[in-house]
Chains A and B, each alone.
Chain A
Amino acid sequence: MADLTDSSLSLAPVSPLARVLVPGDFGAVGADGPGVVFRDRRDLSLVTIQVRPDKQAGARQALETAGFALPDVGQAAHSGDVAVIWSALDRWIAVAPRAPGALHDQLAQAFGGDPRGHGVALVDQSSGLFALEIGGPKLDALLAKGTPVDLHALTTDRTAATGIDHQPVTLWRTEADRVLLLVGRSFAQDTLEFLQEMALEFGYRNG
């Protein structure tokens, strides 16, 4: 790859929610504060790990040797800064603090730099997936408006491949009152607008 160092050619990233996640409190915010808080988590790198069904034992072993994990269906696993969450049949998403290319390379190293030779496809989706963090005491009441997932069963570090407002999303409960929602970037604004409207009655904060 050609290395270009002319800083005048550097590009500034823009969030798909630049226009709708304007800071402030909205809706019926009571004395206890907002029921729901939305946060843009574009400070994360997201790399999907897709593994052929017949190569998963080997892939799991290779990742574990390198200090990662390939959790079971509906689970999330942490290894240092990197979390690997189950997101769909034969597919996981690695999540780490944002560093362009680094997470992809780190994972590729687990397969000796040749993931394709192990039936594994790594795809950087840091722009393709949008990470929205939703928190607050009314989190579950809000999610119940959009997803059929049994929210009682979605405990901390459980994940679900589901739909919200007819959009396919991945939900990962990172804490008791917090989830990370991953949605296709082109649908991000639509999904957020749905959630914001649904959160009006609880009061919400764009943080």
Chain B
Amino acid sequence: MILAEQDTELGGSLLTERSTIDGEPASLWVDRVVGELDTLDNVEVMARTTVFGYYDHNILGALERLPAAEHGARERYWRIEAGRVTLAAGALERPIPFPDNDRPGIMLASAVRAYLNRWAVPAGTRAVVFANNDDGFSTARDLSQAGMAVTLVDSRADAELPRALTGLDVTLHRGRTIAGSKGRHRVSEVTLDDGTRLPCDLVAVAGGWNPSVNLHSQTGAKPVWDSIRDCFVPGQPRQNESSVGSCAGRFTTAEAIQDGAYAAVAAIRALDKPVPELDLPVPEDPPAGRGESLWYVPGHDSHTFLDPQHDVTVADVKLAHREGYRSVEHMKRYTTLGMATDQGRFGNVNGMAVMAEARGLTVADVGTTTFRPPYTPISVGALAGRKRQQTFMPLRRSPLHDWAVDRGAIFAEAGLWKRSRAFPQAGESLRAASFRETTQTRNAVGICDVSTLGKIDLQGPDAPELLNRVYTNGWKRLAVGRARYGLMLREDGHVMDDGTTSCLAPGHYHMTTTTGQAPKVMSHLEWCLQALWTDLDVQVQSVTDQWAGLAVAGPNSRALLQRLLPDVDLSNAAFPFMGVGQYELPGGVPLRLFRISFSGELAYEVNVPADYGPALADKLLDLGDDLGAVPYGLEALDVMRIEKGHVTAGELDGRTTAADLGMQGLMSSKKDYIGRVLSQRPGHGGSQPAAPGRPQVRQRRRADPRRQPSAADRHPDHNRPRPGLGLLGDLEPDVRPAHRARFPARRRAADGRGGARGRPGARPRRRGRGGLPALLRSGRDAPTWLT
């Protein structure tokens, strides 16, 4: 059980009132009860904690303000999921708005009493108490006994000073109201409606009480008007909650004790536990006397403030009525009465009453506005907690993250990941580093961390069928030990993702996705299996984090891997393009090898369990020292893949079709697959080349490699804003033609796969991963502006 108390200590109004319980000061009784609660293990007393919001499913938000402590927080936000809630939120005193009531020194009587009785602070020396109910008497008594000169202005014509005030110097003006005030820095005088002028430096206003029905109202329940007590009280609960004491309109201490006991008994019964015999304490309450309705003092309405936080006056509410904003909800929005930080805690009900009067109705008829969380303002910092700046989003770290940090990597954000962008040497710029890495990879061998690519393990006899349905191309005949490139569409026919999938064993496949789309592809597959094709016997599981991935690219990649796997025949014949092998390193470390190239070079991807990723990278650099092995980053990877014409997230941006990407040839006509139908929409290309007006992936090549590029080489459309379409053409300026000129010789891998780039003027090539249509448009297809 949690007992949350907004104040620093338990006790409620007993802390501020001079009352007794069982004949002794109430504070002693409070201390004893607090001591008893402390001994109970199953009760957590949370003082300094404001329950500020009440949400569906009995979930409450609370803010705890903590005492200063080393390493401690200042505030703590709690989310409490409660089985049963008892609201004992108390009541707030209601003002009696009168003309010129916004002067310093004009306070609620309960606040004046709290200052005096709890903190021994007299709020003034010469007080006027303005009341429409018996609370005026106890205020007058307390202030007079503290030595203040007190004048009591009671609106009730039949008010009589009670016996408790006998012998005290209290002047009573009965049947009177305050009609105005004066004072420069604080109130110095009030004028009564009969013209009497009363010098004073403090006005204590007691207009009755408003139960704090805010939390109850936040549950969606409607408070109802209690015409006996003249206040809104909780209505029919909508959640497992009940209100007790003042927040239910039962204002006396005796009623609060009774209510608390009833609520406790109900809670105990709900738990099927025996109800103990109750011995309720007997409080001494001030004599109960009904007040009379006094919602505001007519007069200078534009100076009669209902809501001092928003400067809303009686005149504003009457204007709202004249303008037709007569529903209290409309009036609230027209005037801002009770909005924002106030949340109806001050003059809300008075405002409803002004509107009721203007409409010739009662408060019960016009009803109340809806209260919203937070009950009192809470700092956004408490809600945000640690989630700011670097910790705003979680950071996903590749298994080679620290490894890259040690090698001076510059990082790029890729979703939640940070990927190494380049490994600059001393004094080297990012660009210089990425060109050096590209050169070295093209000429020798480079290794690149590709661990962030999504990896999904598929197992089950129906896995090929699943692949066939989610990819556009055919998968039924992929042999064990082979990989294939695949393109995935969304249901709307646009490209969702691409990647390779390898067959590890019959019914066992390893899918890769792009870094950014990995979670989406995973949930897509789960949706397909759980909702669309429950009959397919396939289990999918993310293994992204299990495997560290390293691309090993360049003409020396085979020689390098041969040193890592001396007993494996990596010759082209034994381990051809798109080949897949599973091996074991000493110590039982499994290794998966894929002959896949994203850079256009002879290249492999090596996977080992993530724990071994950094050691594998070190080992490869070590083994490849004399082969010219270097680490390369995302920047070099991008240079090479653009030169090769491979698409990546820049092109697979959710708005491109297969035809836009030049991959219409990958769309099988022999089977159905997700996105097939809608990809045939007019203007979307379908399995035809890109439709006119659609963006298109192109790769440009200078017709004359000796000519230096100039502005004229830019695509004529390039300066035209093409919102967000980061196609290859847009990326081209980052690929320095000067850099390319350093690779004039179009080397080919020995087997003629990868690294192939056509000569200027050559026929368009159809190359890509897996011998698929390349994304190149060159030669005769080149746009005229190139030639």
Q: Identify the A interface with B (CB < 8 A).
A: 1-7, 9-16, 18-19, 27-28, 42, 48, 50-52, 91, 100-101, 115-117, 119-121, 123-129, 148, 150, 165-167, 184-187, 189-190, 193-194, 197-198, 200-201, 203
Contact = CB atoms under 8 A, between A and B. Distances in A.
Given A123-B457, A189-B397, A100 B545 contact: no
A73 to B, nearest CB: 17
Interface in B603-619: 608-616, 619
If over half of A's interface residues share one DSSP class (helix, strand or loop), that class is named, otherwise mixed; here it is loop
B615 A128 contact: no
A169 B510 CA distance: 24
A121 B459 contact: yes
A4 B586 contact: yes
A123 B546 contact: yes
A115 B610 CA distance: 24
B394 A190 contact: yes
Contacts of A5: 586
B564 A9 contact: yes
A55 B615 CA distance: 40
B386 A197 contact: yes
Going nearest first, the 3 A-B pairs with the smallest beta carbon separation are A128-B546, A121-B539, A11-B615
B544 interface: yes
Given A4-B584, A101-B588, A123-B543, A116 B461 contact: yes
B584 A3 contact: yes
A186 B584 contact: no
Nearest to B66: A201
A53 to B, nearest CB: 9
A154 B290 CA distance: 53
A35 B616 CA distance: 38
Contacts of B399: 14, 16, 127, 185-186
B601 to A, nearest CB: 24
B541 A123 contact: yes
A200 B613 CA distance: 32
A101 B663 CA distance: 40
B545 A184 contact: yes
A150 to B, nearest CB: 8
Interface string B507-547: 11000000000000000000000000000010101111111
Contacts of A51: 539
23 contacts: A2-B567, A2-B583, A4-B583, A9-B585, A9-B619, A11-B608, A14-B611, A16-B399, A18-B402, A28-B70, A116-B507, A120-B539, A121-B459, A124-B609, A126-B546, A126-B609, A127-B610, A127-B612, A128-B544, A129-B545, A186-B398, A186-B545, A201-B73
Interface string B443-464: 0000000000000010111000
Interface in B559-591: 564-568, 582-590
Given A4-B565, A14-B402, 10 more contacts: A10-B585, A14-B399, A14-B614, A101-B590, A116-B507, A119-B460, A123-B543, A187-B396, A190-B394, A201-B71
Contacts of A52: 460, 537, 539
A149 B470 CA distance: 36
